[in-house]
């Protein structure tokens, strides 16, 4: 669609107003492009971090599954279940936000209450069960970290799409429309000024002829 802006009153005052609008729109577009660059850089960095955390979480789940399998084979299902149920460790999850180029991204912090943990079982002295429990807590902590990154990716992706739409509207509709309208009015006023100069010259010539005939 061709860029076009309708001008209600084609006057020089309107032309000056359009030039101010064009200058403002250009400055706004520069700010938006800078913001878009920051958001894209943050998005790409978050993608890389998310990939690393996913890979680490997969390894931690593998290690936790192997440790659990060894514990079940060594102690049996009932003692392991009893130990894991008794030794459950309470934790709290604190949510906050951080600002990145106007986007509020969530941050999660998990805190474990180790003093509240209590374990008494036939297998309480087993280092294998302790390792299994530690691996489970590590998986939980990494899962929280991945959830934070995934939430940030979703919010950043939505904001990048919004900023892109605004930038495209400025670049392909608003600024070209203002530029075309300004050029059209400038040419119209230049043509009008040339006609006015030609008319004045003609009037001056007529006056000089009358004065010459008067004498």
- Beta carbons of 81 and 130 less than 8 angstroms apart: no
Model pTM greater than 0.85?
A: no
User: Does any domain span residue 1?
Assistant: no
The CATH number assigned to the domain holding 96 equals 1.10.287.3240
Encoding tokens for residue 119?
A: 């374990």
User: What pLDDT is attached to residue 118?
Assistant: 47
DSSP label at 9? S
Write the Ramachandran bin of 189: left for phi over 0, alpha for psi from -120 to 50, otherwise beta: alpha
User: Does any domain span residue 122?
Assistant: yes
Domain hosting residue 59, numbered range: 12-214
Measured in whole angstroms, how far is the alpha carbon of residue 124 from the centre of its chain? 49
82: pLDDT strictly greater than 80: no
Phi, psi (degrees; rounded to nearest 5) at 102: 85, 0
User: Does any domain span residue 208?
Assistant: yes
Domain tally for the chain? 1
Q: Give the tens place of pLDDT for each residue, 40-63.
A: 999 999 999 999 999 999 999 999
Q: Give the tens place of pLDDT for each residue, 153-167.
A: 999 999 999 999 999
């Amino acid at each position: 669609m061709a860029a076009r802006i309708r001008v209600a009153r084609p006057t020089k005052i309107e032309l000056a107003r359009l030039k101010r609008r064009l200058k403002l729109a250009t400055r706004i577009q520069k700010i938006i492009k800078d913001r878009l660059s920051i958001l894209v850089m943050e998005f790409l960095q978050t993608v890389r971090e998310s990939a690393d955390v996913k890979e680490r979480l997969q390894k931690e789940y593998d290690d936790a599954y192997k440790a659990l399998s060894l514990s079940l084979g060594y102690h049996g299902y009932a003692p392991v279940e009893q130990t894991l149920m008794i030794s459950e460790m309470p934790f709290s999850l604190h949510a906050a936000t951080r600002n990145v180029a106007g986007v509020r991204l969530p941050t999660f912090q998990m805190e474990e209450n180790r003093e509240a943990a209590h374990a008494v079982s036939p297998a309480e002295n087993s280092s294998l069960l302790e390792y299994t429990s530690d691996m489970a807590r590590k998986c939980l902590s990494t899962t929280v970290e991945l959830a934070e990154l995934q939430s940030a990716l979703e919010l950043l992706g939505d904001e990048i799409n919004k900023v892109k739409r605004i930038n495209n509207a400025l670049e392909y509709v608003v600024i070209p429309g203002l530029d075309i309208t300004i050029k059209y009015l400038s040419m119209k006023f230049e043509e009008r000024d040339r006609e006015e100069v030609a008319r004045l010259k003609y009037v001056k010539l007529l006056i000089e002829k009358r004065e010459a005939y008067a004498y």
